[in-house]
Structure 1
Amino acid sequence: MNNSQSKKAVVRRLAPRKTPSQPRSAHTVEAILEGAAHILELHGLEGYTTNAIAARAGVSIGSLYQYFPTKDAVTIALIERESAALVRAAADALQGENQGRALRALIEAGIYYQLRRPMLAKLLDVEQGRLASLIPGSAHALALHAALTTFLVDYPGVGAVRATRTASDLMALISALTDAAGRMETQATPALADPIEGAVLGYLNALSHNADA
């Protein structure tokens, strides 16, 4: 088996065994994911086991394995859940008519995600790095990139030609700065968004200046 085949086999083992189609099944899956989140927050990676997750979720270990073949499969599903919530908030922020306020709302959404459950966000960042090669390209990240690209098409100095690249740069910049804020702070406050907003506007103003030169 070559490396590509081996990786595909591992990815298949990490995929959920069952996709919940009934409300009861969906409730069980959500209980498992929330149980996993609580274990990470309370006990860290050291106490993060499938037995602990099942106990916290109030389900049997057999029920957990009906949906998730491994602990890493639970982790990947939890990462996807949290990413989806962030992307929904960010996409909503970009719907604002005032471009400046929309960018500020986007930044605040990122900060809120990082600090509403700071320990969970930090540990999921660690796990996402460890599992990066096994996590398929995130539809959530692509959706956010598309929304930000559309927003930037009409932003002064960006336009259609630069929008795609600029969206990628801003996502990386905001992510890095909100992660740094999450490592240093424990509460989301309006002041936390100020330096990030300054960096974003500085980058966009530089683009506008170069376009006018």
Structure 2
Amino acid sequence: MKQAQINPRKTPTQARAKASVQAILQAAAHILERGGLETLTTNYVAEVAGVSIGTLYQYYPSKEAILTDIIRQKRARLLEDLQAATLEMHNESFDVTLAKLLHAAVESQLHWPKLSKALEYAESFLPLEQETRVLNEQINQTIVAFLEHHQVADAPVAARDLVSALRGMIDGAGLAGETDARALFERALKLAKGYLA
């Protein structure tokens, strides 16, 4: 798959065009949540979004490009939420900030569980390796800063271990169809505190 096929053809600038693109992305997300990846076609997305197929193709050359845009938005939201969770860490206890971080991670995976599951699979065949590396570095830096602030020994290694272990647990729960965010949060908290202890 060529890189050009996963990128939008153009970025909308006018309000109406931005609304059309958001409608396309929301329609695709709803389709993925209801029926999974196999039900996603550009024609179906255009129909659910209430736009013409021509309008869709003005912005997205393929369904892979739509998937990529959804993945990018979901990743950006996760990173923003994790960074926001640490904004007050200088005025909060370790436990309060840790809880905020874990809530952000669990919410990202379980808010729309079937969508997350479809996107996890899509990430395996879309050429996003470089973007994934950059995202992982940014997430790790956020966690390192949090751990260093609380004087956790060898914070870079601890952050890498924690992120890997928690991602495995949280993503695995989503892929298994779990929907109980509170139960998953409690398990994630137990894992994090057990490791750090």
Interval containing the TM-score (normalised by the shorter chain): 0.7 to 0.9
Q: 1:157 to 1:167 in 2, by over 3 A?
A: closer
The amino acid of 1:73's aligned partner reads A
Percentage of matched positions with identical amino acids: 36
Deviation of 1:134 (Å): 4.0
Given that 2:113 and 2:177 are in contact with CA atoms closer than 8 Å, whether structure 1 keeps it comes out as: no
Which is further off, 10-19 or 69-78? Answer: 10-19
- TM-score, normalised relative to structure 2: 0.88
Deviations 1:111-162 (A, max 9, x none): 122211111011111111222x34541454443322222112123332xxx3
Distance in 2 (alpha carbons) for counterparts of 1:27 and 1:112: 25
- TM-score, normalised relative to structure 1: 0.82
Deviation of 1:175 (Å): 1.1
Deviation of 1:90 (Å): 1.6
| More contact order relative to length (CA 8 Å, sep ≥ 6) | 2
The amino acid of 2:178's aligned partner reads E
Which is further off, 111-120 or 175-184? Answer: 175-184
Q: 1:147 to 1:157 in 2, by over 3 A?
A: closer
Match of 1:54 among 29, 42, 46: 46
Q: 1:135 to 1:53 in 2, by over 3 A?
A: farther
- The Cα RMSD (Å) is 1.9
Alignment partner, residue 35 of structure 2: 43
Matches for 1:21-40 after TM superposition, within 5 Å: 21-40=13-32
Given that 1:11 and 1:134 are in contact with CA atoms closer than 8 Å, whether structure 2 keeps it comes out as: no
Runs of 5+ consecutive residues of structure 1 not aligned to the other structure: 1-6, 206-213
Q: 1:176 to 1:186 in 2, by over 3 A?
A: same
Deviation of 1:184 (Å): 4.5
Alignment partner, residue 128 of structure 1: 123
Q: Secondary structure at the match of 1:137?
A: helix
The amino acid of 2:179's aligned partner reads T
Alignment length (residue pairs): 192
Given that 2:83 and 2:142 are in contact with CA atoms closer than 8 Å, whether structure 1 keeps it comes out as: yes
Matches for 1:1-213 after TM superposition, within 5 Å: 10-95=2-87, 96=89, 97-131=92-126, 133-138=127-132, 139-158=134-153, 162-182=154-174, 183-189=176-182, 191-205=183-197
Given that 2:6 and 2:64 are in contact with CA atoms closer than 8 Å, whether structure 1 keeps it comes out as: yes
Runs of 5+ consecutive residues of structure 2 not aligned to the other structure: none
Given that 1:86 and 1:109 are in contact with CA atoms closer than 8 Å, whether structure 2 keeps it comes out as: yes
Given that 1:33 and 1:74 are in contact with CA atoms closer than 8 Å, whether structure 2 keeps it comes out as: yes
Distance in 2 (alpha carbons) for counterparts of 1:91 and 1:61: 37
Given that 1:149 and 1:167 are in contact with CA atoms closer than 8 Å, whether structure 2 keeps it comes out as: yes
Q: Could you say which structure has the larger radius of gyration? A: 1
Q: 1:141 to 1:19 in 2, by over 3 A?
A: farther
Q: 1:20 to 1:142 in 2, by over 3 A?
A: farther
